[in-house]
Amino acid sequence: MEMNRLFTGIYNLCKWITYFFWLNLFWVGGTLLGGIVLGFMPSTTAVFAIAQRTAAGEEDIPLFKTFVREYRQSFLRSNGVGGILFVISAIWYIDFMFVRQWGGAFHSVMHVALIVIGLSIGMLMMYVFPVLVHDQMSVKKTLKKALFIGFLHPANMVFLFVSLLSTYYFLIYLPGLIPLVGISFFIHVNMWIAYKGFERIHEMHGKHQRKQADTQASV
């Protein structure tokens, strides 16, 4: 019995390592295929789409076929989102570096305001990919919903940040894993936590709809 459990554990471990390895390889290939600049967003989105299906409990997902399909379908939309995020981040960074040279009370106010904006941008980046693959919406609506979810569940946002930071230090502690499973593992941690947040939002929405239906029925 103990030997069976041991072999089962080793088998599952090898299965997950292989799973993350292939996704990491696909991500690198897709990113290079798009010349890095145009390949990063669709490659990352494609891996997030697979991670979402895994978080939902699906098994035996055709990895390469799914990656290629998601890569093609999300190419324009994901690069649109990436372009907007890049512009917003670049403007924020330039403003932040500029304000650091100021002095006085106004400097302190602007510094705090830019820190809040920077945290909002970070929140947006953590949720934008999960929203991108979870809902087929326009670029504008995707960014708005990602930001809305981040503000709606600040505790979940903190948990997501801590989990991603822990994953980062875990991979830094074992740098040999980074080229093998680094990106794909990091994406799955992000997607799994975000997916649980989506489930809670759907539950809240369902309860609200049932409450409205009960209210209307009693009138």
3-state secondary structure 81-94: HHHHHHHHHHHHHH
d(CA 71, CA 41): 9
Chain centroid to Cα 172, Å, comes to 20
Q: How confident is the model at residue 162 (pLDDT cuts 50, 70, 90)?
A: confident
Torsion of CA 78, 83, 89, 90, to 10 degrees: 160
Lowest mean pLDDT among 43-52, 150-159, 205-214: 205-214
Q: Which of 130-144, 145-159, 165-179 has the highest mean pLDDT?
A: 130-144
Helix ranges, the chain (H) = 2-33, 40-55, 63-99, 105-134, 139-152, 154-173, 183-218
Buried b (16+ CB within 10 A) or exposed e, 177-208: beeebbbbbbbbbbbbbbbebbeeeeeeeeee
Cβ-based neighbours of 122, under 8 Å, separated by 6 or more = 161
Whole-angstrom Cα distance, residue 160 to residue 154?
10
Task: Indicate whether 209 pLDDT > 80.
Answer: no
The answer to whether the beta carbons of residues 125 and 118 sit under 8 Å apart is: no
Q: What is the pLDDT of residue 14?
A: 87
Mean pLDDT over the full length of the chain: 86
| DSSP classification of residue 36 | T
pTM: 0.85
